A and B are shown apart, each in its own frame.
Chain A
Amino acid sequence: MNLSKRSLYQLIAGLALLLAALPVVAHHSFTMFDNSKQIVITGVIKEFQWTNPHTWTWIEVTNDQGVTETWGIEGMSPNFLGRRGWTKESLKPGDKVSITIFPLKSGEKGGTFLRCKFADGHEMVMFENPKVIQ
């Protein structure tokens, strides 16, 4: 990398503000989530709560033992998402989807919503660049 001092300052300034201003940290810290790993959960949407301060996606996932469990996935707010192509109808009960999440460190069945792949193959991104918070 051959960065001038000024460019370097701009980069650092940009990163500092980016970290300070990320939507996920607007409301709470990221302490509870393991942002070093992404996992994919596949199941059937039970409910998509289009609410502040976060959307919540409740999805029924069948585990290795054949038992169906409900996972709760915290997502960006309807305010943020509504300006970026999402609606309260984007996920509907009965939709079969695969959701990529940062899981909870506690091992509880929950995480942060990163992106979602639908049965027809199309994908919707909720949180564009998860790398910036790693």
Chain B
Amino acid sequence: MLLTNMYQQAALAFLFCAATVATASGADALPGSDWSSIAKLPDLNGVWEITFGGVVGGPPQQVVLTPKYAALLKAFQEAPAQDTPMANCVPPGMPGVMLQPYPIEFLYTPGMVTIVVEAFSQVRHIYTDGRKHPDDPDLTFNGHSIGRWEGDTLVVDTVGFTPDTPLGMNMGTRHSSKMHIVERFHLKDANHLELTMTIEDPEALAQPWMRSAVFGRHRDWTIAEYVCQQNNRNFMDASGKAGINLNHK
């Protein structure tokens, strides 16, 4: 009886939402939408650490800013802060959070891929159930992510970024709330995962900025805790001056 109801519900859902979310297993279901489908996805088990010097498809690109954002960078460079808010334990946000020298982990559940980022104990939820971005997303460090599988490649589309976080490694290279990032994750071989990022921003970038990284698999590692506030003795004050606290106890 229960089973019959489930099928009826699934059939109804399919009829009414045929173009969006498939709730029953079958040919029309999106990859990763249920447990049996998850078993067919690329094996990303284990923990992945960025490889130093790993790039995809040529040398890293230089960022090309719009005149307005180039002026912001110039103003920053005339009196640069000695550090970034990361010294005060503020996470970098996207895209920097994906390029930290700490491991990441991928978790599959029906309709979702979760990326656990060890640095700053960050979590990204990638909805692969066919939903769209909200029309007016809240602006966050890591944005709102939807994903889809193109064969063996996980394509992640992210919008809704707070402009408070930097675009690059310094606080002078900025992005706007209109930044849009498309990431493509693909297994290069058994133990190497390639990431290419295409970053667009109609206000900040004069042309799309491609970034890439290669991650190496460590099957025997686990993600560790990273509570930055535990014993943080570094700081940057409001004037941008860096400091260190040497008071033991």
Contacts and interface: CB of A to CB of B under 8 A. Distances in A.
Q: Do A and B come from one complex?
A: yes
Interface of A: 9-10, 12-18, 20-23, 25-29, 31-32, 46-47, 49, 51-54, 56, 58, 70, 72, 74, 77-80, 82-83, 104, 108-110
B60 A22 contact: no
Contact of A72 (B59, B84, B221, B246): B246
Contacts of B60: 13, 16-17
Given A83-B218, A108-B244, 17 more contacts: A9-B59, A13-B58, A14-B52, A17-B213, A18-B53, A22-B101, A26-B101, A27-B86, A29-B82, A32-B82, A53-B231, A54-B232, A72-B248, A78-B224, A79-B225, A80-B102, A82-B224
Contacts of B137: none
Given A28-B234, A29-B83, A53-B89, A18 B52 contact: yes
B53 A14 contact: yes
Contact of B248 (A22, A25, A29, A58): A58
B53 A13 contact: yes
Nearest to A11: B53
A100 B220 CA distance: 31
A21 B169 CA distance: 10
A58 to B, nearest CB: 5
Contact of A52 (B58, B230, B246): B230
Given A9-B59, A13-B59, A74-B233, A28 B87 contact: yes
A79 B59 CA distance: 29
A104 B244 contact: yes
Contacts of B224: 78-79, 82
Interface in B207-249: 213, 218, 221, 224-228, 230-234, 236, 242-244, 246, 248
A29 B84 contact: yes
Contact of A27 (B82, B99, B228): B228
A108 B221 contact: no
B222 to A, nearest CB: 10
A26 B169 CA distance: 10
Given A23-B101, A31-B83, A70-B248, A52 B225 contact: yes
Interface string B51-79: 01111001110000000000000000000
B22 interface: no
Contacts of B101: 21-23, 26, 80
Contact of A77 (B53, B226, B248): B226
B118 interface: yes
B82 A31 contact: yes
Given A20-B169, A32-B244, A52 B234 contact: no
Contact of B99 (A14, A21, A70, A109): A21
B86 A28 contact: yes
B233 A31 contact: no
A32 B228 contact: no
A79 B83 contact: no
Nearest to A83: B221
Contact of A47 (B87, B234, B248): B248
Contact of A108 (B228, B232, B246, B248): B246
